[in-house]
């Protein structure tokens, strides 16, 4: 069980064969339905991945994901419209999908049946989570989107912080994720700005762009950590050099290719009129 009480992590290896997909589905059911009380709580799971009792079959690559149209329609306005008489899917029993993966679609179906986020085979797989977010966005599954946000906020690392920040803005999870991203960056700022962390510095530049220059707030808050890094990148008259070890914020800095000046307690971006069209 992860930090999200409705998220289940499982490390079962994934294989592309139909037999492996069936085994993974059985593992999902076993993970969720551990007790008789849980079986009563999620009666829909009696029909999970059950082709015999389902009325639609999604084909994703070589994986088959059966489902019940009414269950999907109850949970998603997009499925509700898709399975109405006005669309061809109303009559079709098999639907081929080419814009997702079998693993991600099965995660979505599991959530629709159980309201629990079961990320298999790897709950740390950012590509899988992005595919699930795309499905949640496509089918307007706001609760699934929120579940992914809760899952991600507890899994921020140096390697994935940039990607999680991007997810926050791309999928409407900024309120959920960006405060946690800022907190993580504040705690790890020394690493990202260290002379040996070239990748970290590049990541900070990209993060500043993603986060709409909010990263400048962290630069000021962590000025003692960053002054050595910035010493060779800003003019000598910024307060960095001289007796007494002055640590006032610099009057001018360059970040992500843009120039900023310190005015009235905040950094303001300078317009480059020479490069304007």
Q: What is the pLDDT of residues 62-98, one digit of tens each?
A: 899 999 999 999 999 999 998 887 877 767 789 999 9
Averaged pLDDT for residues 253-257: 59
pLDDT for 245:
44
Examine the pLDDT at 215 and tell me if it is beyond 70. Answer: no
Can you read off the two tokens belonging to residue 71? 């269950």
19: number of Cβ within 10 Å: 8
**Strands of the chain, DSSP E:** 7-9, 56-60, 63-67, 94-96, 117-119, 252-255, 258-263, 266-269
pLDDT for 223:
60
Averaged pLDDT for residues 152-158: 92
Write down the domain spans for the chain.
Answer: 1-155
CA angle 58, 64, 66 (to 5 degrees): 60
Q: What is the pLDDT of residues 92-151, one digit of tens each?
A: 789 999 999 999 999 999 999 988 999 987 889 999 999 999 999 999 999 999 999 999
Mean of pLDDT over the chain: 74
State which fold the 1-155 domain adopts. Potassium Channel Kv1.1; Chain A (3.30.710)
């Amino acid at each position: 069980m992860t930090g999200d009480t409705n998220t289940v992590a499982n490390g079962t290896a994934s294989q592309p064969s139909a037999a492996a997909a069936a085994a993974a589905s059985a593992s999902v059911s076993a993970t969720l339905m551990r007790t008789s009380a849980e079986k009563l709580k999620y009666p829909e799971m009696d029909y999970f991945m059950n082709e015999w009792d389902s009325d639609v079959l999604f084909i994703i690559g070589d994986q088959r994901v059966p489902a019940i149209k009414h269950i999907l329609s109850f949970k998603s306005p997009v499925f509700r419209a898709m399975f109405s008489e006005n669309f061809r899917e109303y009559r079709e029993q098999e639907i081929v999908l080419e814009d997702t993966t079998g693993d991600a679609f099965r995660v979505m179906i599991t959530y629709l049946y159980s309201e629990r986020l079961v990320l298999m085979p790897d709950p740390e797989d950012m590509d899988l989570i992005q595919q699930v977010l795309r499905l949640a966005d496509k089918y307007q599954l706001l609760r699934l989107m929120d579940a992914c946000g809760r899952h991600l906020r507890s899994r921020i690392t140096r390697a994935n912080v940039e990607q999680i920040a991007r997810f926050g803005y791309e999928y409407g999870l900024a309120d959920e994720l960006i405060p946690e991203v800022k907190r993580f960056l504040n705690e790890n700022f020394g690493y990202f700005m260290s002379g040996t962390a070239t990748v970290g510095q590049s990541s900070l530049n990209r993060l500043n762009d993603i986060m709409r220059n909010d990263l400048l707030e962290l630069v000021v808050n962590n000025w003692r950590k960053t002054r050595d890094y910035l010493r060779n990148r800003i003019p000598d008259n910024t307060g960095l050099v001289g007796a007494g070890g002055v640590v006032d914020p610099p009057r001018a800095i360059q970040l992500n290719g843009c120039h900023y000046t310190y005015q009235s307690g905040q950094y303001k971006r300078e317009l480059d009129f020479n490069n304007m069209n």
